[in-house]
Amino acid sequence: DAGITQSPRHKVTETGTPVTLRCHQTENHRYMYWYRQDPGHGLRLIHYSYGVKDTDKGEVSDGYSVSRSKTEDFLLTLESATSSQTSVYFCAIRGGSNQPQHFGDGTRLSIL
């Protein structure tokens, strides 16, 4: 299995609180991604990174920010969590062109 670790695996928090999810890889891959997956929507790209300090928005980036200060870590932050952000969040990594993505185990986030 690809060396990807997501933390925390589960989190319950309240509306309005900040939340940070971490993705850590040991593969030294250039590309990293954050997705959310909800029933009826499939996987939706939130943000991605193509190198240290190089990030860009995906299709559902509103309400989320990311940072990548090291190759191995990609952080996803919900500045002020809302109930609509209750979801399963997956991190993925990719080595390069024409390569598949490999996913972490996911983080189940519930915002009450």
Q: How far is the CB of 105 from other proteins (least distance, A)?
A: 6
DSSP letters spanning 60-96: T-TTEEEEEEETTEEEEEESS--GGG-EEEEEEEE-S
What Cα–Cα distance (Å) separates residue 86 from each residue in 36, 42, 50, 99, 109? 9, 14, 26, 30, 5
Report 34-93 residues binding other proteins (CB under 8 A): 40-43, 45, 48, 50, 58, 88, 90
Q: Which is nearer to other proteins, 14 or 59 (CB)?
A: 59
Q: Are 35 and 59 spatial neighbours (Cβ–Cβ below 8 Å)? A: no
Out of 55, 85, 87, 101, the only residue in the binding site for other proteins (CB under 8 A) is 101
Out of 23, 55, 104, 111, the only residue in the binding site for other proteins (CB under 8 A) is 104
Q: Which residue has tokens 């559902």?
A: 60
Site string for other proteins, 9-28 (x = CB under 8 A): --------------------
List residues binding other proteins (CB under 8 A). 31, 40-43, 45, 48, 50, 58, 88, 90, 94, 97-106
